[in-house]
Amino acid sequence: MTGRPQQGFGRDLEWRIEENNRVISAYFETDVPGWSGFRAQIDYTAGERELAMELKVFNGCTEARRVSPGFHPYFALEGNDFELDGRRLKANKFGEAQFIEGPTHTLVTGTHTFTLHSDELQTWALWSDRLGDYFLC
């Protein structure tokens, strides 16, 4: 997105929150110049032992738009170590983002195991800003 901030414009907008049963939806609609009718929505669905996050991007105009959507959950670590797809890693070694491919990955953060899955966005950025005991994916 030429002329747009590197981290996108969603972080600077007011998101609206709606709750319906087990689903919390956060969404925005904006009139960013040249992007009339653009909308993004993230649905969070909580289960007893799972949290599903679904990102939806809507283009409300007739012209095709190229976007690189992303959202970055933070995972708390117990110390600096974690495991990704069976490999032991250290969060403080990630000074810059590292990218992995594939629809499904397993993340172990001490006592918690997460299955990360995406049908459509299959490039994952992994990094830590080293400001605390957490890791971003």
Stated pTM of the model: 0.72
Residue 88 CA: distances (Å) to CA of 81, 84, 91, 104: 7, 7, 10, 17
3-state SS assignment for residue 121: coil
CB 113 within 8 A of CB 92: no
**How many C-beta atoms surround the C-beta of residue 58 within 10 A?**
11
Average pLDDT over residues 47-63: 82
CA dist 102 and 82 (Å) reads: 19
CA dist 104 and 11 (Å) reads: 26
- What's the pLDDT at 1? 42
Residue 112 CA: distances (Å) to CA of 39, 49, 68, 72, 96: 33, 11, 29, 18, 24
- What's the pLDDT at 67? 78
- What's the pLDDT at 106? 93
Instruction: List pLDDT tens digits, range 83-99.
Output: 999 999 888 877 788 88
Average pLDDT over residues 64-77: 79
3-state SS assignment for residue 92: helix
Confidence of residue 30 (pLDDT cuts 50, 70, 90): low
Is the pLDDT assigned to residue 117 strictly greater than 80? yes
- What's the pLDDT at 32? 64
- What's the pLDDT at 7? 61
